[in-house]
């Protein structure tokens, strides 16, 4: 409460300064950024006190103070903070990869694969069926030919099934949950990230075959897809090996190194046109598992320390990026998609966990960790928009509305799953008694 | 290879090389790390390789302002009143006199020199001359950091250097902040332009109000992560607010650091968090300061080089005069000012802040003069201090004096 009052006072002080200022050297962006950090932190703590994940608080703060509502942080300031978002995504991806242990992949890889396969298949089919059935109520599909409608449905569904590694990592970092539900969710989410890129590429090729774009659209060849995935694995392994070498022979300044790795990985991936997330996930996986004597773990802890403040900024910016008016306009269309996706995830995961032989008590909670979506979905929707300039743009807008809803409620679901499975207490500490936040070092 | 990738690689390699190699060099040869980043920045900047273009510099503008503000906050955390009260008054007297004298002497001489060398009227060179005076007053503690490990910190001379360095920072920041209030170009639009006094009140107000509010905001927070988030927000907001109204972020950030360290129970954690980030930010600041550098005209070379000489003479002379006037010559020796010759983060921060200031006069000359001075003195700052101690030992028969031998004074 005290912090909320202080926040309001700061907001008032900023308003007093507004007529005296100018935006030179990004000063306005800096001012907005400072306020956004404090606001997100405050709302995050309020959310935590209400047993809601902090990241939901960060997102809400971004939405409230972003361009959609109070406009304390303008669109220009958000654009200027884009590098911070990129860094955050890269860091989260590396951290996600570092969370995976080789022994766990060997032991439970098949389980992850089975759950993911069924869940994706059910989800994909359900969304395609829903959109195809709803075509008469969707303005931009009502007059389109059958082939174009089918192309749209396939593309939309292949993007809508994406999960969010960022939300998963943020929640695991916040709660320190390390139980089977947490580990299975993380494994499935990371695996889905790879599978969705392949699936989307395949669907884009089918869509182009059944409904060629009017202007030819952007091309996406099989070679490009293979390179995007294979190249990412290759670059990730090399980067991971470099990190392992550094940890072995130098092993100092790990926090700084963590940030440099994330920046470097993102730059290299962008330069070589390979999948950024997969590159960094692979690098994190290799660095963690190839290092000996706890060096990989030391780097992971350093990254977790750097990631805590970056999560605040990343999710607050994500919240500010949500166009509430756009979501409001499409909410009637988006809500059925959200509901069907939710039901399909539930059904698909239940079948998947049963097939994988996962204990019933654990398996029944996994679906709740798969609701969130972000990151890769936006990138894929942009590719679709480039391939089909008219329909693709509609797809992107609808998808952003769906994502906004899922992004907001997904973390709440996941936290409930962790609490229900006993991997985290309602107060936030895990049952082993560790604090929910990293201890001062 | 893309400029972004190269920048990441070079900064990473430089940082790690500096960390690993300079750790060794600092121990073995008493050399301080830092100036190499300045050279790196110049090499990467638009004037040499162009890898950091003007667009990149502009996009990193907010980070530069944040780094400047962070320097101010780090200096503010050194103003712990409880610790300061344990130091006897003559140390402050000498430090204040030395600092004020060196600022005044260098500013005065530089006004004359700039006017003469560039054939400009006095009113066109007063502000740049005064800014150079502020930069000259600033001295670096990084050399002392290397020597403190050598258990020299108990000596009165070393204590005097610590006090003087802090005083230099405070006076340089206060004078520079005031100068920007006086030379302020005014707000855009139809708003009545505030007077310099009003700008000064706004500048101090941002710091005091921010300090008070952030004191309440951070109260009792000991978790390092949450503290880091809150402090980052606080310093970013204060720096952004000052930069937004075209004032120096150094003043409010210094006040916030000082208020927090004196009013909160978690002062040690706050100081630690700010110090942890200060070093990487300083290196980033140096790289971008180097990249922002633009060559000056041939006629300005003389004042730039003379600034370096005038500062050294001014520092040594004012240090000697201050010690003599305060009766501290036996305790610190006549050449104690040598220890203050090193320049570092604050000089760069002031110069960069002036360079980005709207309507600044002769910004390139001021900026280049500051960079030259930092480049030539930062690496050797530990050696300067060592030389001051050695000269003092030779003249006094070594290590005779302790605090008890100092003249009695009151705070």
Per mean pLDDT, which range of A166-170, A436-440, B167-171 is the poorest? Answer: A436-440
**Domain assignment of residue A428, yes or no:** no
- How many Cβ pairs closer than 8 A exist between chain A and B? 163
Q: Which of A27, A250, A256 sits opposite B240 (nearest CB)?
A: A27
pLDDT at A360 over 60: yes
**Domain assignment of residue A439, yes or no:** no
Query: Residue B410: pLDDT band by 50, 70, 90 thresholds?
Result: very low
Query: Residue A50: pLDDT band by 50, 70, 90 thresholds?
Result: confident
Residue A25 and residue B62: Cβ atoms within 8 Å?
yes
Last residue of a domain, one of A63, A80, A97: A80
Query: Residue A214: pLDDT band by 50, 70, 90 thresholds?
Result: low
Q: In this predicted model, what pLDDT tens digit does every residue of B15-39 receive, in sequence order?
A: 666 566 666 666 666 666 667 778 8
One domain, residues A31 and A158: no
**Domain assignment of residue A429, yes or no:** no
* pLDDT for the residue A438: 39
One domain, residues A261 and A319: yes
Q: In this predicted model, what pLDDT tens digit does every residue of B330-356 receive, in sequence order?
A: 888 888 888 888 888 899 999 999 998
**Domain assignment of residue A207, yes or no:** yes
**Domain assignment of residue A438, yes or no:** no
One domain, residues A104 and A219: yes
One domain, residues A76 and A92: no
Mutate to test the interface with B, among A31, A90, A316 (most CBs of B within 10 A): A31
One domain, residues A141 and A60: no
Query: Which residue in chain A is spatially nearest to B62 when comparing CA positions?
Result: A26
User: Using CA atoms in the order B259, B261, B264, B267, what is the torsion angle rounded to 10 degrees?
Assistant: 160
One domain, residues A133 and A275: yes
pLDDT at A404 over 90: no
Per mean pLDDT, which range of A156-160, A183-187, A225-229 is the poorest? Answer: A225-229
Number of domains in chain A: 2
**Domain assignment of residue A441, yes or no:** no
Q: Which of A25, A31, A312 sits opposite B241 (nearest CB)?
A: A31
Q: Span A279-289, mean pLDDT?
A: 87
Q: Which residues contact A221 (CB under 8 A, 6 or more apart)?
A: none
Hey, what domains does chain B have and what are their CATH numbers?
3-398 (1.20.1530.20)
Mutate to test the interface with B, among A25, A57, A252, A257 (most CBs of B within 10 A): A25
Last residue of a domain, one of A80, A107, A126: A80
**Domain assignment of residue A133, yes or no:** yes
Measured at the CA of A202, the angle between CA A199 and CA A203, to 5 degrees, comes to 85
* pLDDT for the residue B262: 93
CA distance A320 to chain B (A): 17
Interchain contact A422–B (C-beta under 8 A): no
One domain, residues A47 and A146: no
Residue B59 and residue A26: Cβ atoms within 8 Å?
yes
One domain, residues A286 and A213: yes
SS in 3 state form for B27-42? Answer: HHHCCCCCHHHHHHHH
**Domain assignment of residue A433, yes or no:** no
CATH number (domain holding residue A147): 1.20.1530.20
Predicted ipTM? 0.86
Long-range residue pairs from B1-4, CB within 8 A, at least 24 positions apart, any chain: B1/A271, B2/A267, B2/A270, B2/A271, B3/B51, B3/B52, B3/B53, B3/B56, B4/A267
One domain, residues A309 and A190: yes
* pLDDT for the residue B134: 96
* pLDDT for the residue B9: 65
Burial class of A158 by CB neighbour count within 10 A (0 to 12, 13 to 18, 19+): buried
Measured at the CA of A213, the angle between CA A211 and CA A214, to 5 degrees, comes to 120
* pLDDT for the residue A141: 78
Last residue of a domain, one of A26, A61, A80: A80
Give the predicted TM-score (pTM) of the model. Answer: 0.82
One domain, residues A232 and A281: yes
Q: Span A240-248, mean pLDDT?
A: 87
B-facing residues of A in 13-52 (CB < 8 A) are: 13-14, 17, 19-38, 41, 45
Residue B232 and residue A37: Cβ atoms within 8 Å?
yes
Domain that holds residue A35: 2-80
Residue B213 and residue A9: Cβ atoms within 8 Å?
yes
Interchain contact A250–B (C-beta under 8 A): yes
Residue A359 and residue A351: Cα distance in Å, rounded? 12
One domain, residues A185 and A113: yes
Partners of residue A268 in chain B, C-beta under 8 Å: 5
Mutate to test the interface with B, among A8, A21, A83 (most CBs of B within 10 A): A21
Partners of residue A4 in chain B, C-beta under 8 Å: none
Q: Which of A33, A271, A305 sits opposite B62 (nearest CB)?
A: A33
* pLDDT for the residue B28: 66
Q: Which of B9, B66, B216 sits opposite A30 (nearest CB)?
A: B66
* pLDDT for the residue A434: 41
Between B20 and B175, the more confident residue is: B175
Q: Span A249-272, mean pLDDT?
A: 78
One domain, residues A184 and A323: yes
């Amino acid at each position: 409460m005290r912090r909320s009052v202080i926040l309001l006072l700061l907001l008032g002080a900023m308003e007093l300064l507004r007529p005296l200022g100018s935006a030179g050297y990004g000063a306005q962006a800096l001012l907005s950024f400072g306020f956004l950090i404090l606001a997100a932190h405050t709302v995050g703590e309020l959310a935590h006190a209400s047993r809601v994940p902090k990241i939901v608080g960060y997102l809400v703060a971004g939405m409230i103070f972003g361009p959609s509502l109070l406009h304390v942080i303008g669109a220009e300031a958000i654009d200027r903070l884009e590098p911070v978002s990129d860094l955050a995504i890269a860091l989260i991806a590396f951290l996600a990869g570092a969370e995976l242990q080789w022994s766990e992949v060997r032991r439970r890889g098949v389980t992850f694969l089975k759950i993911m396969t069924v869940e994706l298949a059910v989800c994909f089919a359900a969304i395609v069926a829903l959109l195809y059935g709803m075509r008469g109520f969707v303005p931009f599909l009502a007059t389109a030919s059958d082939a174009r409608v089918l192309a749209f449905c396939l593309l939309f569904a292949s993007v809508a099934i994406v999960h969010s590694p960022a939300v998963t990592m943020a929640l695991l970092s916040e709660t320190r949950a390390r139980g089977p539900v947490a580990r299975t969710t993380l494994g499935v989410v990371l695996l889905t990230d790879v599978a969705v890129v392949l699936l989307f590429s395949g669907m884009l090729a089918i869509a182009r075959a059944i409904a060629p774009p009017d202007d030819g659209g952007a091309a996406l060849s099989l070679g490009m897809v293979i390179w995007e995935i294979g190249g990412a694995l290759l670059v990730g392994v090399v980067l991971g090996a470099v990190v392992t070498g550094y940890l072995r022979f130098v092993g100092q300044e790990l926090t700084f190194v963590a940030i440099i790795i994330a920046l470097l990985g993102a730059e290299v991936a962008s330069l070589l046109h390979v999948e950024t997330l997969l590159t960094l996930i692979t690098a994190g996986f290799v660095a963690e598992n190839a290092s000996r004597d706890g060096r990989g773990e030391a780097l992971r802890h350093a990254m977790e320390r750097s990631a805590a403040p970056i999560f605040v900024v990343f999710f607050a910016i994500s919240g500010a990026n949500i166009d509430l008016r756009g979501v409001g306009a499409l909410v009637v269309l988006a809500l059925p998609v959200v509901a069907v996706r939710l039901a399909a995830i539930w059904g698909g995961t239940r079948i998947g966990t049963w097939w994988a032989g996962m204990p019933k008590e654990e398996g029944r909670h996994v679906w709740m960790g798969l609701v969130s979506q972000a990151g890769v979905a936006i990138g894929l929707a942009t590719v679709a928009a480039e391939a089909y300039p008219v329909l693709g743009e509609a797809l992107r807008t609808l998808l952003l509305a769906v994502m906004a809803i899922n992004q907001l409620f997904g973390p709440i679901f996941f936290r409930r799953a962790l609490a229900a499975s006993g991997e985290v207490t309602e107060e936030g500490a895990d049952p082993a008694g560790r604090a929910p936040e990293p201890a001062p070092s | 290879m893309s400029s972004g990738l190269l920048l990441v690689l070079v900064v990473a390699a430089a940082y790690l090389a500096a960390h690993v190699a300079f750790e060794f060099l600092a121990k073995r040869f008493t050399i301080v790390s830092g100036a190499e980043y300045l050279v790196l920045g110049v090499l990467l900047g638009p004037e040499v390789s162009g890898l950091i273009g003007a667009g990149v510099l502009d996009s990193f503008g907010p980070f530069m302002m944040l780094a400047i503000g962070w320097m101010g906050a780090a200096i503010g955390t050194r103003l712990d009143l409880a610790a300061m009260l344990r130091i006897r008054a003559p140390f402050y007297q000498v430090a204040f006199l030395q600092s004020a004298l060196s600022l005044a002497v260098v500013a005065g001489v530089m006004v004359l020199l700039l006017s003469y060398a560039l054939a400009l009227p006095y009113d066109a060179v007063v502000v740049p001359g005064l800014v150079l005076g502020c930069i000259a007053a600033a001295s670096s503690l990084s050399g002392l950091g290397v020597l403190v490990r050598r258990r020299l910190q108990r000596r009165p001379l070393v204590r005097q250097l610590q006090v003087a360095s802090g005083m230099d920072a405070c006076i340089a920041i206060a004078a520079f902040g005031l100068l920007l209030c006086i030379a302020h170009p005014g707000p855009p639009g139809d708003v009545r332009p505030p007077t310099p006094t009003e700008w000064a009140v706004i500048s101090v107000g941002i710091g005091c109000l921010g300090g008070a509010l952030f004191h309440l905001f951070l109260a009792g927070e000991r978790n390092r992560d949450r503290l880091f988030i809150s402090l980052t927000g606080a310093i970013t907001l204060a720096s952004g607010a000052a930069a937004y109204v075209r004032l120096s972020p150094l003043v409010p950030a210094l006040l916030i650091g000082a208020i927090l360290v004196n009013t909160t129970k978690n002062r040690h954690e706050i100081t630690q968090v700010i110090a942890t980030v200060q070093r990487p930010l300083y290196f980033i600041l140096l790289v971008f300061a180097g990249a922002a550098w633009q060559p000056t005209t041939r006629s300005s070379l003389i004042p730039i080089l003379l600034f370096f000489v005038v500062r050294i003479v001014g520092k040594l002379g004012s240090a000697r005069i201050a010690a003599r006037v305060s009766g501290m010559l036996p305790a610190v020796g006549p050449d104690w000012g040598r220890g203050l010759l090193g320049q570092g983060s604050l000089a760069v921060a002031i110069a960069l802040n002036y360079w980005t200031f709207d309507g600044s006069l002769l910004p390139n000359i001021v900026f280049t003069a500051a960079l030259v001075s930092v480049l030539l003195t930062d690496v050797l700052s530990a050696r300067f201090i060592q030389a001051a101690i050695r000269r003092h030992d030779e003249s006094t028969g070594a290590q005779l004096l302790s605090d008890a031998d100092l003249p009695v004074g009151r705070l």
